[in-house]
Structure 1
Amino acid sequence: MDRRHDVTLAFTYPDERRARTVAESVRVEEGAIADDRSAVRVERDGRTVRVTVAAADLVALRAGVNTWTRLVGVAERVADCAA
Structure 2
Amino acid sequence: MPSIEVGTVGGGTSLPAQAACLDVVGCRGATQAPGRPGENAQQMAKVVAGATLAGELSLVAALASNQLVRAHMQHNRKPQAPSST
Higher normalized strand content (fraction of residues)? 1
TM-score by length of 2: 0.37
Higher relative CO (Cα under 8 Å, sequence separation at least 6) belongs to 1
